[in-house]
Amino acid sequence: MNKKLLALVAACSLFLGAGGTYGGMKWKDAKVKENPIEEKQSMNKSSGVSGDLEKIEQAYQLIQKSYVKKVEREQLVQGAIQGMIGTLKDPYSVYMDAATAERFNDSLDSSFDGIGAQVTIEEGKLIIVAPIKNTPAEKAGLKPRDQILKIDGESVEGLDLYEATTKIRGEKGTVVKLEILRKGASKPFELGITREEVPVVSVFSDMKENGNKKIGYIEITSYAEGTAREFTSELNRLEKDGMEGLIIDVRGNPGGMLSSVEDILQQLVTDKKPYVQIEERSGKKNPYFSGLEERKPYPIKVLIDEGSASASEIMAGALQEVEGYDLVGVKSFGKGTVQQAIPLEDGSNIKLTMFKWLTPDGNWIHGKGIEPTIEVEQPEYFHAHSLTVEKELTRDMNSEDVKIAQDLLMSLGYGPGRTDGYFDGQTERAVRAFQSIEKMPVTGKIDQRTAEKLEEVIIKEIQDESNDLQLQVALKSMK
């Protein structure tokens, strides 16, 4: 099959920066029009469209002439479009006004100002898909599946994806305050995050060892315009250095330009099955094949987690179903739709879900995710809650903050004896032991300094590669 896919963007979410990523596709010879809005359609009375538009016109004139306050024409037009899209109840279909669309296009550059995280909306909730590596969001402790309740003290209820991200993004050096509810916690906490310039560097590589075997490691954090080129360069370097196996890490990768995934998959999967299938509204399935005839001479493992979404799932699904490579980790996010951004005459656009994508074997993973072939959970402290101490935690207190502190101490092996939130004698002894080891004043009480040290030690443990159980299993399972 000829290479039809020119630019397929299948991102799960928005970068919390100057704009975001979207899903869209163009084919050289596709039957789907590049811009359906430009098509001339007859709207006669038999279709019912004319009558419906007359009703909208009547409502428009009624509000313009009779509403108690003056209403701007643009406000009504945008409201009508947003209302139609809202009835779809699809978080990935969004209207962008001209200003938002311009910021969105600017955000596809090599960097943007923001906090560096991706979000989506699930059942009306604003959810973190994943923080980007080495960004303010990651440094502040945001985690996949965190729910954003408030932005700078204002509830996000009723906001669409673009309205929410507009409130979060801003100039470098400014601070945004997010109220976060984390899974397993009974109350939310607040994070103040300083916006920075976030470079879109999407590929990191390293040579690791398993015994006397050299194992290449490539992490892909998103699928940007230059990702495939970066991947090819790093892959060639690792092969030249004699790697005998490859680990591809797409944990926390929310997706991006699928043209990048296509170019990567063309190097890794053979032509015996399609690497992806695109299903149209009619149900017609369009398969896309690699031109590769021989598979790589070394084994490949793929690391996935709950933050691996959309284009990352296309990659994982193709590597597993076409070549049988193992997926190591936990179930992925589950986004199986494709959006196309359709420009309107005034510079605004509509990002509309137009297709489903299916795995090589025809599976639709939307809302389900992809199961790993080797399931490995990370240690508990990888999912630890942030500890913020407004007042000193002492013996006989009972609170959510005490519970979080007990969880952190338990994760570090200090044995608080219980994790129900009651600060008893054993918890006090565990705190004393921690303070002694860390060469702090030994009080048995948890003040702000002790809380910060707990989080500092947890972060250090997470960054220690030997504690990354998913990576270690992938390395040890190389044959």
The rounded distance, in Å, linking the Cα atoms of 344 and 346 is: 6
The rounded distance, in Å, linking the Cα atoms of 120 and 274 is: 28
Catalytic residue among 301, 335, 351, 445: 335
Whether 460 contacts 438, CB under 8 Å = no
Question: Is-catalytic flag, 320?
Answer: no
Whether 207 contacts 243, CB under 8 Å = yes
Catalytic residue among 339, 386, 406, 411: 339
Catalytic residue among 259, 310, 312, 470: 310
Rg (CA), the chain: 25
The rounded distance, in Å, linking the Cα atoms of 296 and 55 is: 61
Question: Is-catalytic flag, 75?
Answer: no
What residues have CB less than 8 Å from 182, skipping those under 6 apart?
Answer: 143, 145, 146, 147, 189, 385, 386
Question: Is-catalytic flag, 339?
Answer: yes
User: Which one, of 235, 357, 218, 220, lies nearest residue 296 by Cα?
Assistant: 235
Could you identify the residue written with the tokens 């992938």? 474
Torsion from C-alpha of 450, 455, 460, 461, nearest 10 degrees: 100
Q: CB burial class (10 A; 0-12, 13-18, 19+) of residue 39? A: exposed
What residues have CB less than 8 Å from 67, skipping those under 6 apart?
Answer: none
The rounded distance, in Å, linking the Cα atoms of 18 and 93 is: 19
Residues marked active site are found at 310, 335, 339
